[in-house]
Chains A and B, each alone.
Chain A
Amino acid sequence: MIQPPAAEGDHLVRLEDVHKWFGNHHVLKGVNLTMHQRDVLVVIGPSGSGKSTLLRCVNMLEIPTRGRVWFEGQDITDIRCDLNEVRTHIGLVFQAFNLFPHMTALRNITVALERVLKLPSAYAKARATEQLERVGMAHKAQAFPGQLSGGQQQRVAIARALAMQPKLMLFDEVTSALDPELVGEVLEVMIRLAGDGMTMMVVTHEMGFAREVGTKMLFMDEGVVVEEGEPREMFYRPTSDRLRQFLAKVL
């Protein structure tokens, strides 16, 4: 299931000395990271450690106060960069799903295909249906988000991001808002996605997922990357005290 990392050099994402302040609050204190094609990068850490902010910096939903973000070799922190275009290549799935409540599941997906990618309606519908099938939600295409369970909404949200055919998928604590019995169906979709070779960055509290699916892991605390490496290695032989303490609490 785990794909070997691609050759060095063709990195998809690179962050260099990324800082983020919210007012006086220093959330990210100089983060560096590199992601290659087919990487499944898992980010763990206590709440408030800056993991979500880091993830949101990758598609510039949060603009770094300092530092650079490269996507496919392009500096997307450059003011001249067309972020709308860049974001069509980066799928983002939120903790709170954020489906559009006034649109059906299908329309949630086709709206961006038609309005942003300018696909003809029939083609957009076909592509959306294909992705709904992929997450096992084709039978709910005409349902509104309010009529779906949390797990179903999140699967539609994943399909919505996938339909854009992104080169990178970002998952921001996507199972944290779900009832425990609904977590499995979402994780299953993500595991299959990783198996298909999708490049993914996953902020999560699901340690099992991190260990089994991740090809690379970051442990963050107080805005810095404390430790990074191969997930199993980090779980079994944490080098820093902070990671050891964190793992003792969550495992």
Chain B
Amino acid sequence: MAVTEAPLVEPEVAPDVRGPTAPLPATILGLGIAAFAIVVAGVLISQVNYGLSDRVLTQSCIDQDVAPTDNGAVGVCNIVEALADPVTTWSLMIGIGIGAVAIVLGLATYRRMDSKRRRDHAVTGAIMGVHAITLAVALLWFRSGTPALFTKHFLNFADLEGYGGAFLLGARNTLLLAFLGELGGVIIGLVLGMLSLSQRGAVRAPARMYINFFRGTPLIWQLVAGYFVLLFGFQIRLSAFVAATIVFALNTGAYAAEVFRAGIQSIERGQMEAARSLGMSYLEAMRYAIVPQAVRRVIPPLMNEFVILIKDTALVIALGLTASEYDILTTAKEGQAATFNFTFFTVAAIAYLVVTLPLIRLVNAAEKRLRSGLVGIAGAAG
């Protein structure tokens, strides 16, 4: 078949309707960042300035129920007075102003930018302006109320002196609870996950019942019931720490079982068929072909479970731990009870974050690595 030649037609040039290119994308981005930086810097400079110089308790602090006899009263007052300092005030105002300019310019011009990169600059500049204004307004609102009262209760770190070791021990115990619980849970979960995949209903049923029970009742109920049932029902006196570890393992086992089940089911059917066609039994196929692949796939979700468990270990607060067993939250509660200073809970949150944030990053990295398919090759030396 001959190719018919298309007649040559002079293509009509479409009129350029894009309009003039908007100017100043980098300036808008700069304005947005500057607005935010001015707000943050102004606040920090005042805070550091007040923190480093000798100050006294002001009348406004005393009016807000900060007594001269309170431990750390001057420190609390410094934070509040620094917020009211002209440097802070001016930086907040200037930040709001520049932020508003960035928003207006950015939104007005981003559609007329001539490259993706410049458009992103304009939009990001506007967004940074929004952040600057939001932060500045929040601080203005905060200092217009009773900031001294808030600071006295939640940001008064004076009472925490001497509790560093206690929090370190608490962090160790929290991690120990979570780690032992996860370890036991993974073992229980692998077995239960395999059972719940059985063809036989009689094998599946008890596994499902276990999983449903532990997923369907509150963890705190399991903790309390586990501890007191053993104690009063069977006269078994376990330390609260040990009892809690067992309950965490049992509970995590149910969730890990679902993770393993999903992981095993995610392996292509052909893998099982290939193994069986080589004469392997079902269990041999699982052991040599399926589970080693599934294990790699379940590492990120299991690490995710671990992060969740770290936070859930705080529920041991419901059981009576002895002092050497205190976890982070119990440490905070004891400190708060002794001093009536809620700043202990602020520190507890920070302590949990110090532990969990790196792990969350690790989970994300592992997921990314898995999605890129590298694990199948790299982790396979055995």
- Residues of A whose CB lies within 8 Å of any CB of B are 59, 61, 84-85, 87-88, 90-92, 94, 96, 98-104, 111-112, 115-117, 144, 146-147, 157, 160-161, 164
Task: Note all chain B residues with C-beta closer than 8 A to A104.
Answer: 380
Q: What is the bound-complex CA distance between A101 and B289, given in angstroms?
A: 9
Task: Note all chain B residues with C-beta closer than 8 A to A111.
Answer: 278, 288-289
Q: What is the bound-complex CA distance between A117 and B279, given in angstroms?
A: 9
Partner of A164, one of B274, B278, B284, B376: B278
Task: Note all chain B residues with C-beta closer than 8 A to A100.
Answer: 271, 274-275, 288-289, 293
Check A94–B273 contact: CB distance below 8 A.
Answer: yes
Q: How far is the CB of A121 from chain B (nearest CB, A)?
A: 14
Q: What is the bound-complex CA distance between A147 and B373, given in angstroms?
A: 12
B68 contacts the other chain (CB 8 A): no
Given contacts A100-B289, A101-B293, A111-B288, contact A84 B380 (CB under 8 A): no
Check A146–B377 contact: CB distance below 8 A.
Answer: yes
Given contacts A96-B270, A101-B293, A102-B292, contact A90 B376 (CB under 8 A): no
Check A98–B271 contact: CB distance below 8 A.
Answer: yes
Q: How far is the CB of B155 from chain A (nearest CB, A)?
A: 52
B364 contacts the other chain (CB 8 A): no
Task: Note all chain A residues with C-beta closer than 8 A to B275.
Answer: 100, 112
Given contacts A87-B279, A102-B293, A147-B377, contact A116 B284 (CB under 8 A): yes
Partner of B278, one of A101, A103, A112, A146: A112
Task: Note all chain B residues with C-beta closer than 8 A to A92.
Answer: 273-274, 277
B258-286 contacts to A (CB < 8 Å): 268, 270-271, 273-281, 284
Q: What is the bound-complex CA distance between A101 and B293, given in angstroms?
A: 8
Task: Note all chain A residues with C-beta closer than 8 A to B289.
Answer: 100, 111
Q: How far is the CB of A75 from chain B (nearest CB, A)?
A: 19
Closest to A111 in B: B288
Q: What is the bound-complex CA distance between A58 and B302, given in angstroms?
A: 40
B296 contacts the other chain (CB 8 A): yes
Q: What is the bound-complex CA distance between A147 and B376, given in angstroms?
A: 10
Task: Note all chain B residues with C-beta closer than 8 A to A147.
Answer: 377
Q: List 19 A-B contacts (CB under 8 A).
A: A61-B273, A84-B281, A90-B277, A92-B273, A92-B274, A94-B273, A94-B274, A96-B268, A100-B271, A100-B288, A102-B380, A104-B380, A111-B278, A112-B278, A115-B284, A116-B280, A144-B377, A144-B380, A157-B274
Q: What is the bound-complex CA distance between A49 and B366, given in angstroms?
A: 44
Partner of B296, one of A96, A102, A117, A157: A102
Q: What is the bound-complex CA distance between A61 and B380, given in angstroms?
A: 28
Task: Note all chain B residues with C-beta closer than 8 A to A99.
Answer: 274
Closest to B278 in A: A112
Task: Note all chain A residues with C-beta closer than 8 A to B278.
Answer: 87-88, 111-112, 116, 160-161, 164
Q: What is the bound-complex CA distance between A92 and B288, given in angstroms?
A: 18
Q: What is the bound-complex CA distance between A102 and B289, given in angstroms?
A: 8
Q: What is the bound-complex CA distance between A251 and B6, given in angstroms?
A: 34
Q: What is the bound-complex CA distance between A88 and B273, given in angstroms?
A: 13
Task: Note all chain B residues with C-beta closer than 8 A to A112.
Answer: 275, 278-280
Check B373–A146 contact: CB distance below 8 A.
Answer: yes
Check A103–B274 contact: CB distance below 8 A.
Answer: no
Closest to B273 in A: A61
Closest to B375 in A: A102
Task: Note all chain A residues with C-beta closer than 8 A to B281.
Answer: 84
| Additional A-B contact list (7), CB under 8 Å, known A102-B292, A112-B280, A157-B274 | A59-B277, A61-B273, A90-B277, A94-B273, A96-B270, A101-B376, A115-B288
